[in-house]
Structure 1
Amino acid sequence: MSSTTLSIPTPDGQSDAFAAYPGEGGTHPGVLLYPDAFGPRPVLWDMARELADHGYYVLVPNIFYRHRPAPVFDLPEHITAEHRPELFGQIMPLIEAYTAERALSDAGAYLDFLTARPEVGAGPVATIGYCMGAVLAMRTATAHPDRVAAIAGFHPGALVTDQPDSPHRQIPRLTAKVHLGLAEGDMTPEAITEISQAFDAAGVEYGCEIYPGTVHGFTMSDTEAFDSAGSRRHWERLLTLLGSTLKS
């Protein structure tokens, strides 16, 4: 497995990024991995390496590049509930500044960059994301349906809102296969019903699953939300999805 840091040209500047990919040469299916609200950091880079070990080229962009390079925040080694108020005082202004318009502008640049890498094979890619990254994965896929074959979102952010640009309202454009892995309490029953109905109406193949015993953030081993059983299930579902869409 090989890994490197990169700089991605965007309409607003240069986004720093991390990439991991198999080291034996050749080309591999591409995966665009969006981070959670804590941003790109070692745990995300380790997850990218894990995916690379399964045969994928994984690109992890710094969505907060307009503010500072990754790691964006001065995070403790292990994030607990006691750390969150102070951390989110720093994080929320950056999240609020990352509008849907900026996300879509970046998404096109990230896809262009990923698919142009010499290590990435021809054909559609996957977008995956954690927390707010799940929203970005969905926005990317609905804006570029011909370029994305799979979406995975784990402990997702607000996929169903009452806003006109809510991600679930863009699902009629979607062609990708989808897996949503929810912590208990991530989405209300009403929101799950609404997004499921949108998938059904669009004829999208999808799974929307609540992972038992988990809390929001259960995949992130550098937080107290981490759940080993939930993490294992996440890897099983993710690898099955990618194998059925990118390697078929």
Structure 2
Amino acid sequence: MTTAVHGSSVDIPTPDGTADAYLVHPADGGPHPAVLLYMDGFGLRPHLKSMADRLAAAGYVVLVPNVFYRYSKAPVAELPEFIDLAERPDVIASIRPAAQTLTPERAMRDAAVYLDWLAASPLTTEGPAGVTGYCMGAGLALRTAGTYPDRVAAAGGFHGAFLATDAPDSPHLLADRITAELYFGHADQDTANPADQIDRLDKALSAAGVHHRGEIYPGAQHGYTQADTSMYSEEAAERHWAALLDLFGRRL
């Protein structure tokens, strides 16, 4: 069952400035469980808002922050209506300066602000939130679950990038702090998340006793949920929706 939703732009004060964000919730006025949705590298744009709308229609209050707000308000770069990196390789270069403004420390300082903001909203129910993230946002979701374990009940990550690297601050190293249930939908055609990193993530979460499931989406490319890109797969995207709504339906 879906419901009518109401979306609006909001500004969220942070220690480092003002984060612009998109907030959408069921039009009945709530309260409903809170969800923090982390963007992919292409940022806050119409397609991500439509994804948030679909999640809100399932009964959630969804906040989508522009995590690159230190660089500029969204959009942080001029994007084509349809993103095909084979035709427009310059798109990645155009967003790189914005991405460089976000460090793990800054991202987690912001995460506390976003979670506080959602918790204080009259639209949300009490209790921990759900988090979902795409591409770089999957790493932010994993990091948020590990940094604020008492505040996150469920987290999903889809076509995640660099989730379990050799870096000393790799997100998977927070596994022993996580109490949320996690779900990952890995693209099998993804150089940003190769098989050895998928295995390393799974082993770290299993060793820490984290309730989690990771699935490989065959034939899916990095970015398979993003309908405004050439990487989109309707089949993989719908599989992601089923898994995410199942996770949130059980835990939120």
Query: Structures share a fold, TM > 0.5?
Result: yes
Question: Quick check: 1:191 aligned with 2:193?
Answer: no
- CA deviations over 1:213-241 (Å, ceiling 9, x no partner): 11110000000111010011010001000
> Which of 221, 225, 231 is residue 237 of structure 2 equivalent to?
231
Report the count of equivalent residues. Answer: 246
Are 2:129 and 1:121 aligned?
no
Q: Aligned match of 2:248 in 238, 242, 246? A: 242
Matches within 5 A, 1:59-208: 59-186=63-190, 187-208=193-214
CA distance in structure 2 between the aligned counterparts of 1:58 and 1:164, rounded to whole angstroms: 31
Q: CA offsets, 1:16-47, max 9 Å, x none?
A: 00011001123000000000000010000000
Q: What is the Cα-based RMSD across aligned positions, in Å?
A: 1.0
Which of 8, 25, 34 is the equivalent residue of 2:29?
25
How far has the Cα of 1:83 moved from its partner?
Answer: 4.4
Distance, in Å, in 1 between the alignment partners of 2:113 and 2:88 is 31
Q: Tell me the SS of whatever aligns to 2:219.
A: coil
For structure 2, the residue ranges without an aligned partner over 5 or more in a row are none
- For structure 1, which runs of at least 5 residues remain unmatched after alignment? none
Structure 1 partner of 2:8: 4
Shift of 1:194: 1.2
- Confirm or deny that 1:209 pairs with 2:215: yes
Structure 1 residue 36 corresponds to structure 2 residue 43: no
Task: Give the TM-score normalised by structure 2.
Answer: 0.95
Helix, strand or coil for the counterpart of 1:129?
strand
The 1:151/1:183 distance shift into structure 2, 3 A limit, reads same
Give the equivalent residue in structure 2 for 1:50.
Answer: 54
Task: Check whether the contact 2:13–2:19 (CA below 8 A) recurs between aligned residues.
Answer: yes
